[in-house]
């Protein structure tokens, strides 16, 4: 689990985080391609996207989308793990938004679970640190509907 307190309203934090196109502006990724729209379009349940960064391409599928409280996704390809599920929660606080990112998975290759967990946690922490530093009001205004 990783978490951050973000000094921005929950609706703005949700809008920026769930906009796949905007990830290139703050997450340190090269590209995010939407392979399949979800419900609600484009980033809701059933959306499939490929995130390209640092020489890897990870495919994700959105399995729960509850604006502005919770989004759950799973990695369905690109790295040697199975049974992946990540839940990102957005809790409104007097200071803004408390974001909690929980991830679980099983390693595809025996005895690599600890290493994969450390690598994944470090990568997600970098993304979350970049995210927490965003100008959410500006980014949320530029995020489509």
Catalogue the long-range contacts made by 133-140 (C-beta closer than 8 Å, 24 or more residues apart).
Answer: 133/26, 134/8, 134/16, 134/26, 136/6, 136/8, 136/9, 136/12, 136/13, 136/16, 137/8, 137/12, 139/12, 139/15, 139/16, 139/22, 139/25, 139/26, 140/11, 140/12, 140/15, 140/16
pTM of the predicted model over 0.85: yes
- pLDDT tens, N- to C-terminus, the chain (145 residues): 999 999 999 999 999 999 999 999 999 999 999 999 999 999 999 999 999 998 899 999 999 999 999 999 999 999 999 999 999 999 999 999 999 999 999 999 999 999 999 999 999 999 999 999 998 877 767 766 5
Domain that holds residue 21: 2-142
3-class secondary structure, 54: coil
Q: Are 145 and 18 in contact (CB under 8 A)?
A: no
- Longest pairwise C-alpha distance within the chain: 45
Domain count for the chain, please give it: 1
3-class secondary structure, 85: strand
CATH number of the domain that 57 lies in? 3.30.530.20
């Amino acid at each position: 689990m990783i978490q951050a307190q973000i000094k921005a309203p929950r609706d703005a934090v949700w809008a920026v985080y769930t906009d796949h196109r905007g990830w290139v502006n703050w997450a340190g990724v090269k590209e995010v391609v939407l392979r399949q729209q979800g419900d609600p379009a484009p980033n809701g349940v059933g959306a499939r996207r490929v995130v390209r960064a640092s020489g890897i391409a990870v495919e994700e599928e959105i399995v729960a989308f509850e604006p502005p409280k919770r989004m759950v996704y799973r990695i369905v390809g690109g790295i040697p793990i199975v049974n992946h599920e990540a839940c990102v929660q957005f809790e409104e606080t007097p200071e803004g938004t408390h974001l909690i990112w929980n991830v679980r998975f099983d390693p595809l290759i025996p005895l690599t679970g600890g290493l994969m967990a450390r690598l994944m946690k470090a990568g997600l922490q970098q993304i979350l640190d970049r995210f927490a530093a965003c100008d959410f009001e500006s980014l949320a205004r530029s995020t489509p509907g």
